[in-house]
Amino acid sequence: MKTACFIPIKANSERVPGKNFRLLNGRKLYEYIIEHVMEADCFDDIYIDTNSEEIKAYAESKGLHVIERKPELAQNTANGNDLLVYHFEQYPQYDYYFQLFATAPFLQPKSIRACFERLVNAAEYDSCFTAVANHSFYWLNGNPINYRPCILPRSQDMLPVVEETTGLYGMKREALSKYRCRIGARPYIHFVSKYEAVDINTEEDLQIAECVGKIVWGGYSQNTQE
C-alpha cells in the first residue's frame, strides 16, 4: 500500500493578498499545515504544489517533493477537484490520495492520522473529509432549511448541519479514478473542533485565527502539543 499527501500552496491570492505568506502568531501561514502533516507521520510521500520560490525552498529544506504549479491551476477558476485529479494523473502509483490546505493552519496531527487510519483500514469508506457539526438555524434564499419557524425546536435537539472544513480530503485510487473529485460515494466524515476547523479566506478570518490561536495555545510555540 502506498499513500501520498498533496498540499497546494500558490503564491497569489485574490481575497487576501499574500495570504499564504502572512504571519499568524509569528509563523507564516503556509508553514503550519506542512509541519502538522510531517508530524502526523503517516504518508509515504508528501508533495507541495506551488508557484512560489520561497515555498519551494522551504519544502525542499524539509525533504519534501515539489510540484511546479501549472499556470492554469494557479488561476482563481481552478478548484480542489481540478488539483487532485491533476495530481492523480501525474502520480498514478498510489493507493490513497490525500489533499490538505494551508488555509487550515490549526488542523492537528492527531486528526490527520485519524482520517488516514480510518480510510485505509475501513473497507466501507471510499473517501474522507474533515467537518464540523452545526446545531443552529439555517436559511437559504429567504427560506428556512432545517426547521419550521412556527415550531421552534431547542437547538440541541436539531439534526446538525454538516459543514466541510475544507482542511483535509482523502480518496481511494479507485474512487478518484471513477468520480474524479475529492469526495466519493461513501465518505467517512471526521468531525473536528471549531478551532481545528478555522479556515483562512478573508482578512477577518486571519484576525480571528490570530486571536483564537493565542487563547487556545498561546501561539505556534505550543500548537504541536496534542
Distances (CA, A) of 63 to 33, 44, 45, 56: 15, 12, 10, 11
* DSSP secondary structure string for all residues of 136-194: S--EETTEESS-BTTB---GGGSPPEEEEEEEEEEEEHHHHHHH-SSS-SSEEEEE--T
pTM of the model: 0.91
Give the pLDDT of residue 16: 83
Digitized pLDDT (tens) for each residue of the chain, 226 residues in all: 999 999 999 988 877 888 999 999 989 999 999 999 999 999 999 999 999 999 999 999 999 999 999 988 888 888 999 999 999 999 999 999 999 999 999 999 999 999 999 999 999 999 999 999 998 999 999 999 988 899 898 888 888 899 999 999 999 999 999 999 999 999 999 999 999 999 999 999 999 898 888 877 654 444 444 3
Give the pLDDT of residue 51: 95
- Domain assignments of the chain as residue spans, ordered by start: 3-131+165-222
- Rounded Cα distance between 190 and 111, Å, is 8
* DSSP secondary structure string for all residues of 187-222: EEEEE--TTTT----SHHHHHHHHHHHHHHHSSGGG
Query: CATH classification of 3-131+165-222, choosing from 3.40.50.300, 1.20.1250.20, 3.30.70.20, 3.90.550.10?
Result: 3.90.550.10
Give the pLDDT of residue 218: 59
Asked whether the CA dihedral 28, 131, 50, 120 is positive or negative, the reply is: positive
Angle between helix 109-121 and helix 29-40 axes, rounded to 10 deg: 50
For residue 5, what are the β-bridge partners? Answer: 46, 98
